Structure 1
Amino acid sequence: MTASAPSPAPDRATLRVEQALQLLAQSGHPPLPGAPGSVAWLQGLIDALCDLSSRDALTGLANRRSFEAALGREIDRVARSGEPALLLLLDIDHFKRVNDSHGHPVGDLVIQAVAEVLRDTVRPMDLPARIGGEEFAIILPNCAPAFGETVAERVRLKVESQIVKIGPAQTLGVTVSVGGAYAPQWVRSTAGLWKERADLQLYRAKAEGRNRTCLEPTPVSLVSPEEKGLLFGTSNFGEFE
């Protein structure tokens, strides 16, 4: 039986890629590699769109979707390897006051300034993300408990030192509150439970006066009832009690 010839590659009109190219142009993406319609060009288009869909449009940081996927991967890795991992949640202090007093364009400048600090302060392996209006997060793999407080404070102090220019002769200071928690080592948990623990510490930082860092007092938290259920719910350990 004679093999049929491969179908010709569809052209740009068939694929309707013009809208995708417009999105990339608006985002400032550099030209795609290869000749238009070539395999290298199409692969570059796919890669660029994947990257664009994982980025926050205002700051260029990872967006919430990308953050949640990375958080799930990291807590699974910690459960298998036992290596420490720290999650920091950050919230811009009195952000509503900024928008109410100066308008949303100035609020955007403040958000971008904080994002720039996060991008410049973390390691290449870390993942800073914007997960809400004025909410940010950083996933720090292989961050030893001895350094957690130092890392969180370095980020907070760097933000505090920023002066945001909002007009020809007007500037604005900005601070953040930071909450952090370590993923439980060697324990099967969930990204949601990890985030809840960090969120509790962020709430504590806000309640204690803002512009401060609060981390869980111990790197390995007490195992919650939910985590016990995850660990033992599908096992046969109960047969030996």
Structure 2
Amino acid sequence: MKENIATIPLIKAFNAKDECPFCNLEREAEQHAVSFILGSAYMEDDIREKTDATGFCRHHFKMMYDYGNRLGNALILSTHLKKLNQELAKEMSDFAPGKSSLLKRMKRTDTTTEHEPQTALGAWISKKTTDCYVCDHFRKIYGRYLDTFFDLYLKNEEFRQLFEESKGFCLPHFGDLIETAENKLNDTQKKEFYPKAFALMQENMERLQKEVAWFVEKNDYRNKDKDWGNSADSIQRGMQKCAGGYPADEVFRAKL
């Protein structure tokens, strides 16, 4: 298969043969971003300007803390907090409470579903706690990976075979793939792609269900001498299939 700078990461991810090639790409991207930020980039004014404005999500703050470089983390956090405090002070100064009513006061607070913020301050906080420099790094290239997937799928027989012999995708990335297919494929191509993608997902979801079920059965003393098969690591792979990511990954740390 002829490879180029746009296709190499995607082909490499499919050749990894794990439960989701897009999870593989996402892990590579976020590790690269964290290494870049905490390597030396945090000393560059243009990078600090971006991290000051955007900040990080809870997951990637934890990843940065685990990575190491306490001074680098402190410098990034110091100027980010300074900008955050300036903006927060303005938002609170401009805050104007909405009109109250008996109906609103009687209504139970519902936190079980997502609601649009009712105040400008709430909207600002929502944005500040969901924006993330590392997440943005992957989002910027993720669409390109999805486009490249369909470009290769339509034009390259070897890649189609890689896809058809893969273990499918995690549910979140599978959803993105299907949504992208709606725009990237014509009606005839959809009639070919969807049955293949659906069969691939069904086969591999059922495979994992059986592997996890055997993990449970294997812990019965009557099965202690039987072979584990592929079930020994089925818990983490099952979690990945359901929600994405790599639950069993070791903490990503700076190489000393």
TM category, shorter: under 0.3
Q: Which structure's relative contact order is higher, taking Cα pairs within 8 Å and 6+ residues apart?
A: 2
The structure whose residues are more often helix, as a share, is 2
Bigger share in strand: 1
